[in-house]
Amino acid sequence: MDKAGCIEDNDVGALTTEQQSKLNEFKIKTRYTNEKYLRSHPEISCLLSSFLSDVLVARPENTREYASTYFSNPELPLKVKAMTQNKMSKIKSSQ
């Protein structure tokens, strides 16, 4: 096992220079698209922050079961909406 925790070493010659270049372009484009999407949907950030905070406080034995209960809570959309509005108002007031 190498230092990165992988089972096998990287195969440096697996991709041609052109393939590697196209792969790198694809990675950059994907990151850009993801970042753009996340910035235009602040509710995702609020949802994930809230969930992670709750998990860290509750420290459930079964995280999957906890997540299932958390995300199926009928009051969750209202909670996320309120958090998003609060976040957006803080952003606007700081500008």
Does some domain include residue 46? yes
Other CB atoms within 10 Å distance of the CB of residue 46: 20
Does some domain include residue 30? yes
Is-above-0.75 flag for pTM?
no
pLDDT value of residue 1: 45
Does some domain include residue 52? yes
Instruction: Look up residue 63 and give its two tokens.
Output: 């995280």
Whole-angstrom Cα distance, residue 27 to residue 25?
5
Does some domain include residue 79? yes
Q: Which residues of the chain have pLDDT under 70?
A: 1-10
Does some domain include residue 82? yes
Does some domain include residue 5? no
Whole-angstrom Cα distance, residue 48 to residue 42?
10
Whole-angstrom Cα distance, residue 35 to residue 33?
5
Does some domain include residue 53? yes
Does some domain include residue 6? no
How many structural domains does the chain have?
Answer: 1
Domain of 35?
A: 17-94
